[in-house]
């Protein structure tokens, strides 16, 4: 690596790190995309540590961690010039071996309390089809404990819904977030408290649906599925779907803290469509734990839209590294809370 290489831990992202992250293509041989919001989104990281290997003023590799008390979240994991979907997991560049060793040492020292109060676990969301991400997580001892599914909801012309309106009452927001917090593992208050928030209100004025949304922008290089490459090229000339997906600058919403009274599918559908109309976008991508009762009980009865019908749903593994692998915690009995910031 030479004398110019160094391993750093910082609490703020450097321009060199932002350059690496904004140039990184995520995904696998299926879906591939780039986040367009990283330069601004990264400043919303909660208690972040940016662990990097630098050489000649450039970041060769990075792992970003968010200190969330008893659980630390692994947010960014990127290497310069990495091939996201290498089929040969043994082809890990030797230039990354130092970062790997430093990270293993960092996890050990953190669990030993050398950097403050020791966490119980580190966790991350990874694409199980991405051989390199999976291989690297296993090298550090992470194990899959749950799975998310990316559930899309789209409308070519979303209709405004009179019962759906934005919520600004702190008291009402806190009341709804308590419901979400009580029924989910690893709740992240830092992100959950940032709006905008929407609610569905019935004829009596009672709130029966609640959600926070995060707006995101991606460049989509390839959509998922065997025909994803061809489909991506055809979108711009295909009526209907071209209103939903704009590959060079795709704007969409990510719902989180989603709660619906009695898991009513009609309320869920009306709530989501009303928000699309209010926010003037055509699509949502809900990253939801497959154990989530709201998703399981409503999915057969909701019209999820054109994008859902034309593309396969992708799976995301929830991987965890524990201080004590035998210790039980809430993740093993509750679906995990997924902040929109964590995914976009």
> pLDDT for 90-104, tens place per residue?
444 444 576 677 788
pLDDT for the residue 316: 93
Q: Is the pLDDT of residue 209 over 50?
A: yes
Same-domain pairing of 19 and 155: no
- Min mean pLDDT across 1-10, 129-138, 203-212, 250-259 is at 1-10
Q: Is the pLDDT of residue 89 over 90?
A: no
pLDDT digits (tens, 9 = 90+) for 123-163: 999 988 777 677 778 888 899 999 999 999 999 999 999 99
pLDDT band at 226 (very low <50, low <70, confident <90, very high): low
144 lies in some domain: no
290 lies in some domain: yes
Q: Measured between alpha carbons, how far is 263 from 295 in angstroms, rounded to an integer?
A: 8
Highest mean pLDDT among 7-16, 127-136, 172-181: 172-181
Same-domain pairing of 234 and 279: yes
Same-domain pairing of 159 and 224: yes
Same-domain pairing of 180 and 314: yes
Same-domain pairing of 327 and 190: yes
| CB count in 10 Å sphere of residue 302 | 16
pLDDT for the residue 92: 47
DSSP secondary structure of 253-272 = EEEEEEEEGGG-HHHHHHHH
Work out the percent of the chain whose per-residue pLDDT is above 90.
Answer: 56
Spatial CB neighbours of 67, under 8 Å, sequence gap ≥ 6: 46, 47, 48, 49, 119
Q: Where are the alpha helices (DSSP H) in 76-183?
A: 97-111, 131-139, 170-182
pLDDT for the residue 150: 94
Q: Measured between alpha carbons, how far is 199 from 271 in angstroms, rounded to an integer?
A: 7
CA dihedral 122, 286, 169, 70 (to 10 degrees): -10
251 lies in some domain: yes
pLDDT for the residue 183: 97
Strand partners, 61: 53, 79
Same-domain pairing of 91 and 209: no
The CATH number of the domain holding residue 108 is: 3.40.630
The CATH number of the domain holding residue 273 is: 3.40.630.30
Look up the pTM and report it: 0.88
Query: How many residues in the chain?
Result: 344
Domain limits at 78?
A: 7-122
Mean pLDDT of 264-292: 97
Same-domain pairing of 91 and 164: no
Same-domain pairing of 95 and 239: no
Q: 3-class DSSP state for residue 232?
A: helix
- The residue among 126, 96, 85 whose CA lies nearest residue 7 is 96
Mean pLDDT of 200-210: 98
pLDDT for the residue 158: 97
65 lies in some domain: yes
Q: 3-class DSSP state for residue 67?
A: strand
Mean pLDDT of 232-259: 81
| CB count in 10 Å sphere of residue 280 | 8
pLDDT for the residue 33: 66
Q: Measured between alpha carbons, how far is 52 from 57 in angstroms, rounded to an integer?
A: 12
Q: Nearest-5° angle of CA 33, CA 94, CA 122?
A: 60
141 lies in some domain: no
pLDDT digits (tens, 9 = 90+) for 44-79: 999 999 988 888 888 888 889 999 999 999 987 777
49 lies in some domain: yes
Same-domain pairing of 81 and 184: no
Q: Where are the alpha helices (DSSP H) in 12-92?
A: 15-23, 38-41
- Decide which of 107, 122, 137 is a domain's last residue: 122
pLDDT for the residue 228: 59
- The residue among 273, 16, 54, 285 whose CA lies nearest residue 149 is 285
140 lies in some domain: no
Mean pLDDT of 263-289: 97
Q: Is the pLDDT of residue 3 over 50?
A: no
Kindly state the tokens that stand for 276. Answer: 């699309």
Same-domain pairing of 224 and 310: yes
CA dihedral 165, 192, 340, 179 (to 10 degrees): -70
Same-domain pairing of 308 and 215: yes
Measured on CA atoms in the order 133, 122, 285, 19, is the torsion positive or negative? Answer: negative
Same-domain pairing of 258 and 311: yes
pLDDT digits (tens, 9 = 90+) for 296-339: 999 999 999 998 988 888 899 999 999 888 888 999 999 999 99
- Decide which of 69, 103, 122 is a domain's last residue: 122
**In the chain, how many domains are there?**
2
225 lies in some domain: yes
pLDDT band at 266 (very low <50, low <70, confident <90, very high): very high
Residue appearing with tokens 């599918």: 265
Residue appearing with tokens 């792992």: 63
pLDDT for the residue 214: 96
pLDDT digits (tens, 9 = 90+) for 23-40: 777 665 567 667 778 888
pLDDT band at 203 (very low <50, low <70, confident <90, very high): very high
């Amino acid at each position: 690596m030479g004398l110019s290489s160094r391993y750093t831990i910082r609490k703020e992202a450097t321009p060199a790190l932002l350059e690496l992250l904004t140039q990184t293509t995520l995904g696998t041989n299926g879906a591939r995309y780039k986040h367009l919001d990283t330069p601004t989104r990264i400043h919303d990281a909660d208690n972040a540590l940016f662990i990097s290997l630098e050489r000649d003023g450039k970041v060769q590799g990075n792992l970003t961690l968010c200190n969330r008390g008893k659980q630390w979240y692994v947010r960014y994991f990127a290497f310069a010039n990495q091939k996201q979907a290498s089929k040969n997991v043994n082809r890990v560049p030797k230039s990354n071996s130092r970062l790997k060793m430093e990270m293993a040492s960092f996890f050990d020292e953190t669990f030993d309390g050398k950097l403050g109060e020791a966490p119980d676990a580190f966790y991350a969301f990874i694409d199980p089809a991405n051989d390199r991400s999976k291989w690297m997580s296993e090298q550090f001892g992470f194990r899959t404990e749950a799975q998310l599914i990316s559930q899309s909801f789209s409308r070519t012309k979303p209709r405004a819904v009179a019962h759906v309106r934005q919520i600004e009452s702190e008291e009402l927001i806190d009341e709804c977030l308590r419901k979400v917090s009580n029924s989910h593992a690893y709740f992240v208050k830092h992100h959950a408290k940032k709006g905008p928030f929407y609610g569905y209100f019935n004829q009596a004025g009672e709130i029966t649906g609640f959600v926070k949304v995060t707006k995101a922008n991606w460049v989509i290089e390839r959509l998922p599925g065997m025909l994803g490459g061809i489909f991506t090229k055809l979108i711009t000339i295909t009526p209907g779907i071209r209103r939903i997906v704009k590959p060079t600058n795709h704007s969409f919403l990510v719902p989180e803290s989603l709660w619906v009274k009695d898991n009513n599918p009609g309320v869920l559908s009306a709530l989501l469509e009303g928000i699309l109309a209010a926010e003037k976008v055509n699509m949502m991508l809900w990253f939801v734990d497959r154990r989530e009762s709201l998703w399981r009980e409503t999915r057969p009865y909701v019209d999820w839209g054109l994008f859902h019908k034309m593309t396969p749903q992708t799976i995301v593994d929830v991987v965890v590294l524990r201080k004590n692998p035998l210790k039980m915690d809430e993740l093993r009995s509750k679906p995990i809370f997924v902040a929109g910031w964590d995914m976009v």
